């Protein structure tokens, strides 16, 4: 288990306040000045080009964040102009300005373009010297009465694991925004996780080392943004982004991470700060007024959808429980781990964010309350012998035969009426514990509190999750079984799921999925095999969610796997999955 460094969130806030992060973030948000009346004429601008595309994000009804990065021919200041227009020919320019970027912000440029109209599409571009960036397209939030809203939901893009064909698909979508639920980058070395085919695919991670310093994180973002499919998706649609763990390090929590060793990698607080700085530099996210590691925020799609983006990862999460701490001789002490994950003092959001979320739910009068967040929220509990065979944290090598036998025995027991089950079969079912203690299941009391609160308010709660690299659809229920909403977990852009090497493999994952869905009460559907994204559309009375898949990430020669596509329609009146 990782030894937590002596570090509290307030320490980070204080450290941020005294570091150069605030002025740096301020200076890459270049001023919205009129280009005919600027003070940058005296600056000797170094020639530069646009090699990393453009992006937009965090739309509001009257503004949107625009982003680009310049690559200068040598170190120095670069003056960058920007334009927002109603048309692709830029004849009706509605907003423009210029500013300066430099090495302090890794030559990134961020503009909060104001004075825009609600529910409007805009085109934007940047210029420096005689160079013009690719054109981007974005749209603002609607206001008032809104009939429909739709989103493409993605997470987990691992550069060495495969081509970003899912991003290529996003670029073709006509949706209001892309919701990116994190693992936008991965921190591993070139020989690390999911890199088996990197050389063959021409996608070896840069830098080659595990990324730890600010320079490392910037280099990794630079490599990801050299990808034409990621550039195409970012240019096509506004992104609303939250981070997950790999933007810093695997299985992170507020003050540490599974993949961080303070004795060899330095203070976690420093690494986290470097990761956050690079994240704000490279992603089209509006920096908060007072700089903290706070990214939870609301986007209102008129009276239709209140989109509440959460941080279950870095701002207030207590350290994860590990089954290895509750097992002896490979057998899990079910009672003791239950007592631990049901502990009401455990938090995944932190008290400030929890209070914010309760207030948002309480105040929301929208037809739908949508949580854009990282980890699965529903109850995903499986018999303990399955974990004793398959949990990588518990066994050095997974025992697939033992796990399969336990799964089949549990499915058979589940299929019988309770009075027909043997004592052994009932005990097997009664041993069910969370499959993933890193998800909300490991913080059950807080999850149950939120779901109970939302159910009492009659919220129409829709939880969106990433993190797992597989697709899920579940009913959200309170601890006493009342319907509290629905959950859709999107699969990954390219990261391997249960079908990956060292886990089940594609054949077994294909077989396990339907069996697991039959075993877990609140789980309606899972696909443990494919890469893709979730398309979700809202009207006043119903939502339609479709898990969409592509055929491969091993080649640019891919197609949409229509046969695997799976659609759910949920009526607002009952919120039931059918
Ligand atoms: Fe991931």
Look up tokens 């239950």; give the residue.
338
What pLDDT does residue 375 have?
Answer: 98
Answer yes or no: is pLDDT of 36 > 80.
no
CA 493 to ligand 1 center in whole angstroms = 9
Tens digit of pLDDT for each residue in 375-420? 999 999 999 999 999 998 899 888 999 999 999 999 999 999 999 9
Mean pLDDT, residues 280-295: 81
Nearest to 552 by CA among 533, 531, 528, 526: 531
CA of 62 to the centre of ligand 1 (A): 33
Q: Which pLDDT value is given to residue 172?
A: 98
Kindly give the distance from the C-alpha atom of residue 23 to the centroid of ligand 1, in angstroms, as a whole number: 31
- Please state the φ and ψ torsions of residue 49, each to the nearest 5 degrees: -130, 170
Q: Assess contact for 155 and 221: CB atoms under 8 A.
A: no
Give the length of the chain: 578
Closest CA to 245 of 187, 332, 167: 187
Q: How far is CA 212 from the centre of its chain?
A: 20
The Cα 393–Cα 386 span in angstroms is 13
Q: What is the mean pLDDT of residues 145-152?
A: 98
What is the pTM for the complete model shown? 0.94
Measure the N-to-C terminal CA separation of the chain; round to a whole number of Å: 41
Cα(497) to centroid(ligand 1), Å: 9
Q: What is the mean pLDDT of the chain?
A: 92
3-state secondary structure of 14: helix
Homologous superfamily of 31-141 = Purple acid phosphatase-like, N-terminal (2.60.40.380)
CA of residue 182 to ligand 1 center, whole Å: 7
Pairwise CA distance, residues 27 & 339, whole Å: 49
Is the Cβ–Cβ distance between 315 and 294 less than 8 Å? yes
Ligand 1 centre distance from Cα of residue 215 (Å): 22
Q: Of 510, 490, 514, 486, which Cα lies nearest the Cα of 500?
A: 510
DSSP state of 293: S
Other CB atoms within 10 A of residue 122 CB: 25
| Ion ligand 1: residues, CB < 5 A | 156, 183, 495
Phi, psi of 160 (to 5 degrees): -70, -15
> 467: CA distance to ligand 1 center in Å?
5
Over its C-alpha atoms, the chain yields an Rg (Å, rounded) of 24
Ligand 1: distance of its center to the CA of 97 in Å? 38
87 Cα to the center of ligand 1, angstroms: 37
CA of 253 to the centre of ligand 1 (A): 15
pLDDT of 290: 52
Average pLDDT over residues 249-268: 97
Q: What confidence tier does 72 reach under pLDDT thresholds 50, 70, 90?
A: very high
CA of 468 to the centre of ligand 1 (A): 6
Strands (E), 331-410: 331-332, 368-372, 381-382
Q: Is the pLDDT of residue 1 over 70?
A: no
Residue-range domain boundaries for the chain: 31-141
CA distance 492 to 470: 6
375 CA to middle of ligand 1, Å? Answer: 10
How far away, in angstroms, is 157 Cα from ligand 1 center? Answer: 7
What's the average model confidence in pLDDT over 31-36? 45
CA dihedral (278, 280, 282, 283) in degrees, to 10, reads 140
Q: Identify the H or E element spanning 568.
A: strand 566-571
Give the single-character DSSP code of 23.
H
Q: How high is the pLDDT of residue 40?
A: 60
Q: Is residue 479 over pLDDT 50? A: yes
For the cut 90, the answer to whether the pLDDT of residue 17 exceeds it is no
pLDDT of residue 6: 30
- Alpha carbon of 246 to ligand 1 centroid (Å): 7
User: CB of 505 within 8 A of CB of 531?
Assistant: no
Q: Report which of 275, 281, 313, 282 is spatially closest to residue 295, judged by C-alpha positions.
A: 313
Residue 482 has pLDDT above 90, yes or no: yes
Separation of CA 458 and ligand 1 centre (Å): 32
- pLDDT at res. 323: 96
Ligand 1 center to residue 193 CA distance, Å?
11
How far, in Å, from the CA of 491 to the mean position of ligand 1? Answer: 9
Report the separation in Å between the CA atom of 234 and the middle of ligand 1, taken as the mean of its atom positions.
Answer: 19
CA of 501 to the centre of ligand 1 (A): 15
For the stretch 528-558, pLDDT in tens is 999 999 999 999 999 999 999 999 999 999 9
Say how many Å lie between the CA of residue 438 and the centre of ligand 1: 12
Q: Which element (helix H / strand E) includes 276? A: helix 268-282
């Amino acid at each position: 288990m990782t030894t937590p460094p002596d570090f509290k969130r307030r320490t980070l806030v204080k450290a941020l306040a005294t570091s150069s992060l605030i002025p740096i973030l301020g200076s890459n948000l270049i001023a919205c000045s009129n280009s005919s009346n600027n003070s940058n004429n005296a600056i000797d601008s170094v020639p530069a080009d646009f090699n990393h595309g453009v992006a937009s994000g965090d739309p509001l009804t009257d503004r949107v964040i625009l982003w680009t990065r310049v690559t200068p021919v040598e170190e120095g200041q670069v003056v960058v102009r920007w334009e927002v227009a109603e048309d692709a020919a830029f004849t009706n320019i509605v907003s423009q300005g210029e500013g300066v970027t430099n090495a302090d912000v890794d030559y990134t440029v961020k503009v909060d373009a104001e004075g825009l109209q609600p529910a409007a599409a805009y085109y934007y571009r940047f210029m420096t010297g005689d160079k013009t960036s690719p054109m981007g397209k974005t749209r603002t939030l609607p206001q008032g009465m809104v009939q429909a809203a739709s989103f493409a939901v993605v997470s987990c893009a691992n550069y060495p694991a495969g081509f970003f064909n899912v991003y290529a698909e996003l670029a073709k979508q006509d949706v209001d925004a892309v919701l990116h639920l994190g693992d936008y980058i991965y921190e591993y070395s070139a020989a690390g996780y999911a890199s088996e085919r990197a050389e063959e695919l021409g996608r070896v991670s840069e830098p080659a080392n595990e990324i730890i310093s600010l320079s490392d994180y910037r280099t990794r973002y630079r490599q990801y943004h050299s990808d034409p499919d990621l550039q195409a998706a970012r240019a096509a649609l506004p992104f609303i982004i939250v981070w997950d763990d790999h933007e810093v390090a695997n299985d992170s929590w507020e003050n540490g991470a599974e993949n961080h060793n303070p004795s060899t990698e330095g203070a976690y607080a420093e690494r986290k700060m470097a990761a956050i700085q690079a994240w704000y530099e490279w992603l089209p996210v509006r920096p908060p007024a007072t700089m903290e590691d706070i990214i939870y925020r609301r986007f209102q799609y008129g009276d239709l959808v209140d989109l509440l983006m959460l941080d279950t990862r870095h701002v207030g999460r207590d350290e994860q429980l590990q089954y290895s701490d509750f097992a002896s001789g490979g057998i899990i002490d079910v009672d003791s781990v239950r007592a631990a994950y049901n502990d009401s003092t455990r938090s995944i959001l932190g008290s400030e964010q929890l209070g914010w979320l309760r207030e948002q739910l309480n105040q929301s009068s929208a037809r739908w309350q949508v949580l854009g967040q990282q980890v699965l929220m529903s109850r995903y509990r499986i018999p303990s012998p399955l974990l004793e065979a398959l949990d990588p944290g518990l066994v050095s090598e997974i025992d697939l035969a033992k796990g399969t036998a336990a799964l089949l025995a549990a499915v058979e027991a589940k299929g019988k009426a309770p009075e027909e089950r043997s004592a052994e079969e009932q005990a097997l079912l009664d041993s069910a514990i969370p499959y993933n203690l890193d998800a909300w299941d490991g913080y059950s009391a807080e999850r149950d509190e939120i779901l109970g609160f939302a159910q009492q308010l009659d919220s129409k709660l829709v939880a969106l999750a990433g993190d797992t690299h597989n697709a899920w659809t579940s009913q959200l229920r309170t601890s006493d079984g009342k319907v509290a909403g629905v959950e859709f977990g999107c699969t990954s852009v390219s990261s391997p799921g249960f079908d990956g090497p060292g886990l089940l493999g594609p054949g077994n994952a294909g077989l396990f999925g339907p069996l697991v869905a039959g075993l877990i009460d609140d789980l309606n559907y899972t696909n443990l095999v494919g890469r893709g994204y979730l398309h979700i559309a809202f009207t006043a009375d119903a939502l339609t969610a479709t898990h969409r898949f592509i055929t491969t990430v091993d080649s640019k020669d891919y197609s949409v796997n229509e046969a695997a596509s799976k659609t759910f329609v949920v009526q607002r009146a009952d919120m039931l999955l059918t």
